Amino acid sequence: MNEAGPTDVFVYGETGTDNIIQVPYLPTPERAACILSDTYHVGGVGANVAVFLSHWGLAVRLSGNALGDDDYGRIARAGLEAFPNLDLTYLETHPGVRTPFWRIMVTPDGERSQLYGFGDLSMTALDAKMLGGARFLSLDLYGGAEREAAARIAHEAGVTVVVGDITQPDHPLLPITDIAANSASLTRGEYPGVDPFEHAMRLHEVSGGIILTTDGPNPAQAIDQDGQQFWVKPPQVQVVDATGTGDAFKAGVIYGLWRGWELEQAVAWGVAAGSLNTRYVGATSHPPELEEIEDLTKKVIVSRSR
């Protein structure tokens, strides 16, 4: 895809490499853990969302931090180039830059413990021309002022702004965030003792937009633009690796809204996509197919109470 091509979604965020290490249990100072498998995958919130959406047939443009001309950078770029709907025109490679990477230990229940190596995070500045007619901007907030600038440019261009992990009620971007996708675990960590779902209502009061809060295998909360809430219970699946689950959920919601679906259907689709993505090691090693997401969505329970 070239620069002049149409774009459905512009994804601006982290791109790097995940090193997934499966272990039978987490090591301690007194107890070493045997490595069961050790694999490398495309990583980063931005890259994950972009891969899912492009795999489902949308025209996606990815930018954010530059990759380095190093092993991690080459792994990431090679993995991304496997998706023909993914425009990498603005994903730069800079000699001397260290590509971000994550060491992720995964236990048999699929849960993860992570180490971050953020590298230099040399960012590509976004301008309105780069958006290429996109209807959605998917943004993560792991960075600095360049994220805020990107969101404001998209907002001024009339693009729907979707932001992940925006939990602070006084965050300067919350009033221009159309859709916030957060996790209850993050809210609990940042606001100990606070009910994450009551906290989501506070966020809605500021943004006036859609607030989505996932909670692992427990029901996810959705608050629509009118302040009405509903709950979506994930179906049971065999979990191998939860890496990228939230990114698959976010991408699934964007996909549904891009298709013109009602919010309930889009959130149910996102929940099904996130659930299916836990079956394999690596966030984007086996993106779920549209047909299997559709089938599993039929088993997702939507209700007006928890």
Among candidates 143, 152, 154, 220, which has minimal Cα distance to 187? Answer: 220
User: What's the distance, CA 29 to chain centroid?
Assistant: 33
Q: Could you report the per-residue pLDDT of 130-140, keeping only the tens digit for each?
A: 999 999 999 99
| Confidence label for 70 from pLDDT (cuts 50, 70 and 90) | very high
- Mean pLDDT within 243-255: 97
Q: Does residue 2 have a pLDDT over 50?
A: no
Q: Could you report the per-residue pLDDT of 226-246, keeping only the tens digit for each?
A: 999 999 999 989 999 999 999
CATH superfamily label, 9-303: Ribokinase (3.40.1190.20)
CA gap 53, 306 in Å, rounded:
29
Whether the Cβ atoms of residue 237 and residue 275 lie closer than 8 Å to each other: yes
> What stretch of H or E contains 248?
helix 245-258
| Confidence label for 143 from pLDDT (cuts 50, 70 and 90) | confident
- Mean pLDDT within 82-110: 95
Whether the Cβ atoms of residue 271 and residue 249 lie closer than 8 Å to each other: yes
pTM above threshold 0.75: yes
pLDDT given at position 162? 98
Pairing between strand 9-13 and 60-64?
parallel
CB neighbourhood size of 141 (10 A): 18
